[in-house]
Amino acid sequence: MNALTDLDTDAAACHPLFRAVAPSGEFNKLRKRLLRLIRQALEDYAMVTPGERWLVALSGGKDSFGLIALLLDLKWRGLLPVELLVCNLDQRQPGFPAHILPDWLKANGIGHRIEVQDTYSIVTGKIPSGNTYCALCSRLRRGHLYRVAREEGCAALVLGHHREDILETFFLNLFHGGRLASMPPKLVNDEGDVKVLRPMAHCAEADLAKFARHMDFPIIPCDLCGSQDGLQRNAMKVMLNDIEARMPGRKDTMIRALANVRPSHLLDRELFDFSAIEAIMAGEQDFIAGEKTDGVSA
């Protein structure tokens, strides 16, 4: 990809969302870094097909706000040739301030759809009190977002998962699922008609938190599952933060490891044919013997 255009000096050259932010060298560096990492993911995983329409999910948390602002900035600069439609799924949680997100979207001239579906009653009706709601809530939410994407003619559903989400999911699968798997930056849904994209796969959560504070987003906490204690994902977050505190840079190393897999050095017989090793060895010996013979003949 081409280098990012200058982000430091010309306020008129950025999306209007950024014009109310107090200018500072720290913020400009932060925004540049996040934009660079998003563009890297877009390119590395071939996410962009020019002319497509994307449905960008907005939950009201710092990550989805950041995703929308950064994608809009790339589009404003002519670096993202797709159409963006923002969607918030109002799940009818008690006390949810339903006016905040529509008001923010309208005030900033952002195309959007507010989808109202009472998944809260379904989740709380099916999950016993004291158990975690996340799995069922996520499935119901994703199903509605896929439907909205189809109705709106969107080829992709774009989500705000970041580096830490991917690492936490990897360790959840490792410790509790007995498999090596995480959140892929790009996949297709089970029906095969909607792509799922995670452009912030390389972005650090701490950077997104700083970005949200600079941008002064009207953050809405998740009271449905975010208020529950003892979630397994929270334990993974604590573990990763402890590792990073004791050995700085390990999160970046772990993310790189997920893109540097050696199937022959794992135990999965479906990924690597261990029964063929002897044949490979025999082939290599024949090749080496042939090289030696050729050398003598020469």
Strand ranges for 103-213 from DSSP E: 112-116, 156-158, 186-188, 195-197
* Per-residue pLDDT reduced to its tens digit, 227-275: 454 478 889 999 999 999 999 999 999 999 999 999 999 999 999 999 8
170-196 pLDDT per residue, tens:
999 999 999 999 999 999 999 999 999
pTM, to two decimals: 0.85
- Rounded to a whole number of angstroms, the CA Rg of the chain reads 23
| 168 in the same domain as 296 | no
CATH code for the domain in which residue 103 is found: 3.40.50.620
* In-domain check, residue 267: no
176 & 234 share domain: yes
Same domain, yes or no: 119 and 237:
yes
Domains contained in the chain, number: 2
Q: Can you tell me the distance from the alpha carbon of 255 to that of 296, in angstroms, rounded to the nearest whole number?
A: 49
Residue 54: which domain range? 11-260
- List of residues 6+ apart from 10 with CB closer than 8 A: none
**Domain co-membership, 133 together with 204:** yes
Same domain, 277 and 228: no
Q: What separation in angstroms does the CA of 127 have from each of 42, 104, 136, 138? A: 37, 33, 8, 13
Q: Does 265 reside within a domain?
A: no
